[in-house]
Amino acid sequence: MKITNFFSPNYDKKKRAPNLVKMIVFHYTGMQSERESLQKLCNSNSQVSCHYLINRNGKVFRLVQDNYIAWHAGKSCWGKYINLNKNSIGIELVNKGHQFGYTSFKKKQISSLIKLSRKLIKKYKIKKKNIVGHSDIAPLRKIDPGEKFPWKYLVKNKVGIWHSYKSNFLKKHRRLKVLTKQDKKKFIKNLNKIGYCFSIKNTPFFIKTIKSFQRHFRKELINGILDHECLMIAQNLTKKL
Ligand SMILES: [Zn+2]
């Protein structure tokens, strides 16, 4: 695939070993334009970058080489990994984001993303569950790439994980069913198994993690409330891990 090289100075100057790459993190740029995004990601004052940026037409730019640590994830956690810059490849998709008019990602953009991701998965032997969105690893601070990100479609193309849970009940019912303490415990266990890091004692953290989970796996209702459907989806996901 064709990749256009750019240069961002926002990375650790010390090289990393290829076997440190365990994850792929997807972002949206959340800015008015592609030009503005590239300028920011390549400006030393911003202190942010990524490895790849994919524009609306599916053109791929490389800003930082894979064997350097780019600054894209910030304070974050997934499974046993903490502060994921050192363990991940960061991919930015041009999209105005929630702040400036969030729109669907373009077909060409997503097909480039799939091609690039599959190449990286193969090269670094990345586990499917370690392909995540920024909001999954930093739920307190981030909501990108957002609910319009086509996770299900990506999984059809072997990128990431998805569930096969289908309910026979009316949606309203499965969402209203009251959960027991045991249910809640089970849910947390399953989320931890997938990779989400959170504690039940920290209520804002808990609510935002539920929201991140919903944004990723149940985009039809993102309310931060743990319901029966969330429980079943989490259970179904962990069966496949
Ligand atoms: Zn991000």
Confidence at 170, pLDDT banded by 50, 70, 90: low
Across 148-152, 157-161, 174-178, least confident range: 174-178
- Ligand 1 center to residue 230 CA distance, Å? 24
The pLDDT tens digits of the residues spanning 88-147 come to 999 999 999 999 999 999 999 999 999 999 999 999 999 999 999 999 999 999 999 999
Number of residues written out for the chain: 241
Sort 110 into a burial class: Cβ within 10 Å, 0-12 / 13-18 / 19+.
Answer: buried
Query: Which of the residues are catalytic?
Result: 92
- Ligand 1 center to residue 165 CA distance, Å? 28
- Ligand 1 center to residue 81 CA distance, Å? 17
Buried b (16+ CB within 10 A) or exposed e, 36-66: ebbebbbeeeeebbbbbbbbeebbbbbbbeb
What mean pLDDT is predicted for residues 223-233?
92
What mean pLDDT is predicted for residues 40-55?
98
Q: What global pTM score does this model have?
A: 0.96
- Please give the biggest Cα pair distance in the chain: 55
What's residue 202's pLDDT? 87
- Ligand 1 center to residue 70 CA distance, Å? 12
Pick the closest to residue 116 from 189, 69, 182, 60 (CA basis). 60
What's residue 241's pLDDT? 87
**CA 23 – CA 62 distance, rounded (Å):** 17
- Ligand 1 center to residue 17 CA distance, Å? 24
What's residue 17's pLDDT? 98
The pLDDT tens digits of the residues spanning 55-68 come to 999 999 999 999 99
Judge whether residue 169 has pLDDT over 60. Answer: no
Q: Which residues, by Cβ under 5 Å, contact ligand 1, an ion?
A: 27, 134, 144
Judge whether residue 39 has pLDDT over 70. Answer: yes
Report the SS3 class of residue 120.
helix
What's residue 172's pLDDT? 63
